[in-house]
Amino acid sequence: MFTEADALERDAADPGHRDLFHVPPAEGGRYAEAAYLAGNSLGLQPRATRGDLLDDLDAWARLGVEGHLDAARPWLPYHEFLTGTAARLVGALPAETVVMNSLTVNLHLLMVSFYRPVGTRTKIVIEDTAFPSDSYAVRSQARFHDLDPDATVVRLDPADVLSYLAREGHEVALVLLGGVNYLTGELMDIPAITRAGHEAGALVGWDLAHAAGNVPLELHEWGPDFAAWCSYKYLNAGPGALGGVFVHERHLGDPAVPRFEGWWSTEPATRFEMAPVSRPPATADAWQISNPPIYAMGPVRTSLEIFDRVGMAELRARSRRLTGYLESLLDELPVTLVTPRDPDRRGSQLSLRIGPGSAHELAKRLRHEFGVITDAREPDIVRAAPVPLYCTYHDCWRLADALAHVIEEVR
Ligand SMILES: *Cc1c(COP(=O)(O)O)cnc(C)c1O
């Protein structure tokens, strides 16, 4: 039933938007293009990125300093060109959204505002499989407040978060979880956990690195205090691309919320008054510090416009079809799925436990012998993401076919 011809037929009936992207050549196997299933780690380059970036570079060559105001996309308000599309992507108000810095930097800036330990309410809840950068960030925040990170940071199995909050929530200052877990691909119940955190009197933030551009989000309605994400995974804005930030409306313009500030934290109209005291706007822009890196913002702008045109509803629907198809193929193989089976509890990523044997060794063979690109987390997890924008049913079929050939040899 799951033949190559069947995969090609599905592609003809349900094409994505692969033509908008550069797909790397295969390094091995019988096909010209790689089966690229690592978009959860680094998304592919949109074809439009290079031209858009060159336009922005030309403005500098032609205009010098005058490009701040006179470029076709002027540099002074450049970040504003990204706000509308970023806000729609995560279900936020434009005033709640800004694109700036990198993800972990933004988590720190947001914790300056929203991790305020007082008395016995000092704890930070994260998941036991938290991405290491997030774990280092919260531990260093605890130390910054002269607290013992081992006693302050509580690492929980995601299934235990709600009961922990009901029992010990009075000691929790901040809940900071991944919206989609980077390792297992599990999509958390963001509204329910947000509500439970608030009922316990804590503030709630979400790391949406693996959720933004992967699953539909309604941040304004769900009501977390803040969120941050990167733009180089599902968002295809290139290695190290700038991240996005959400601060809920209820905190905007509140003088009681502390922030680290610089000249981009003030009202644009007052920026060049060179005044000693800032007048921050009542928007997430107030969390900006420095003038933004235009050539890092450009690719984020290009990519967000693709998401805006296609829409998350269409992407989510195709993601379910592709991911479900890959799941059926993998069920024929001796691998264990660690990602939830329920399509409502996952995005585009399936994580496989390959049993004894090295995940890196397997990923290497898939790449060099079959031109199939996945990514490995030691000791035995291989992650594969059939990204709905540019992946195909044939890509999924190639992964299953390659796994069938090598899995027994790797263990
Ligand atoms: C990818 C990822 C990061 C990366 O952080 P940077 O600051 O962008 O280097 C952090 N946290 C999570 C959960 C991630 O998935």
Structural domains in the chain, sorted by start: 4-46+311-410 (3.90.1150.10), 77-309 (3.40.640.10)
| Ligand 1 atom with minimal separation from the 207 CA | 13
| Ligand 1 atom with minimal separation from the 130 CA | 13
The DSSP line for 209-240 is: TTTTTTS---HHHH--SEEEE-SSSTT---TT
235 lines ligand 1 (CB under 6 A): no
| Ligand 1 atom with minimal separation from the 209 CA | 15
What is the average per-residue pLDDT within 306-316? 97
Using pLDDT thresholds of 50, 70 and 90, give the confidence band for residue 269.
Answer: confident
Using pLDDT thresholds of 50, 70 and 90, give the confidence band for residue 94.
Answer: very high
Has residue 106 got a pLDDT over 80? yes
Nearest to 173 by CA among 149, 190, 153: 153
Query: What are φ and ψ of residue 89, in 5° steps?
Result: -60, -35
405 C-alpha to ligand 1 centroid (Å): 33
| Ligand 1 atom with minimal separation from the 106 CA | 7
- Which of 106, 109, 230 most suits a substitution to test ligand 1, by most atoms within 8 Å of the C-beta? 230
pLDDT digits (tens, 9 = 90+) for 330-351: 999 989 999 999 999 999 999 9
pLDDT digits (tens, 9 = 90+) for 402-411: 999 998 787 6
Assess contact for 242 and 120: CB atoms under 8 A: no
208 C-alpha to ligand 1 centroid (Å): 9
Sign of CA dihedral 123, 127, 132, 134: negative
What is the average per-residue pLDDT within 306-323? 98
Nearest to 389 by CA among 8, 14, 18: 18
183 lines ligand 1 (CB under 6 A): no
Using a 10 angstrom Cβ sphere, with 0-12 exposed, 13-18 middle and 19 or more buried, the burial of residue 291 is middle
- Residue 127, token pair as written in the block: 């998941």
What is the pLDDT at residue 358?
Answer: 83
Has residue 243 got a pLDDT over 90? yes
Q: Write the CB contacts of 104 (distance below 8 Å, at least 6 apart in sequence).
A: 133, 134, 136, 137
Q: Rounded to an integer, what distance in angstroms lies between the CA atom of residue 101 and that of residue 216?
A: 23
Using pLDDT thresholds of 50, 70 and 90, give the confidence band for residue 393.
Answer: very high
pLDDT digits (tens, 9 = 90+) for 60-88: 999 999 999 999 999 999 999 999 999 99
What is the pLDDT at residue 392?
Answer: 98
What is the pLDDT at residue 270?
Answer: 85
Has residue 255 got a pLDDT over 80? yes
What is the pLDDT at residue 410?
Answer: 72
What is the average per-residue pLDDT within 158-185? 97
- What's the predicted TM-score (pTM) here? 0.97
- Residue 291, token pair as written in the block: 């003038």
Q: Rounded to an integer, what distance in angstroms lies between the CA atom of residue 47 and that of residue 68?
A: 26
210 C-alpha to ligand 1 centroid (Å): 9
